[in-house]
Structure 1
């Protein structure tokens, strides 16, 4: 079964808030636990370049999961994800765009 790569694109207008979100994502692999164990393979967030083609998107978060079931756990049960969502709901301009795909 292939790993799952997930990209989440955010519109965060304030650069200071972009940096705060990056900091939160930097500890996600340690903070997110499933059955008491770390389960996220990779997590990182990066600001986008200032370019008109970005259409207001200022932050891209990338997470890699061992399986779709792990991603579903992240979406529905992970307390670390709840904490990130609390932060982001206060600072985003529009709902995020989320894409996921199999890693080949």
Structure 2
């Protein structure tokens, strides 16, 4: 199995909401648990630079998982990820975030 690097791009128009999301991602490796243990290898988020090439994306989140199964758990069962989703509800524009993942 290879590690998974996941990049998630968000369109969050309010800079204060971007900072809230960054704060949530900064504690994700400790907050996210699977079978009672942390399972995310690394997690971080940062705002994009103000540039037309961003196409409206204002936040980039990077998460690394030991396996695709761990990423699937993150998407479907992780309470910490659920809290991030709930915190961003109603704050995004143009639909859901763009998610891309590759072997790390």
TM-score of the aligned structures, taking structure 2 as reference length: 0.97
Partner SS for 1:49: coil
| Structure 2: gaps spanning 5 or more residues | none
Alignment of 1:52-67 (within 5 A): 52-67=52-67
RMSD: 0.6
Distance 1:89 1:96 in 2: 11
| Structure 1: gaps spanning 5 or more residues | none
TM-score of the aligned structures, taking structure 1 as reference length: 0.97
Distance 2:72 2:17 in 1: 27
Corresponding residue for 1:101? 102
Following TM superposition, where does structure 1 have runs of at least 4 consecutive aligned residues deviating by more than 4 angstroms?
Answer: none
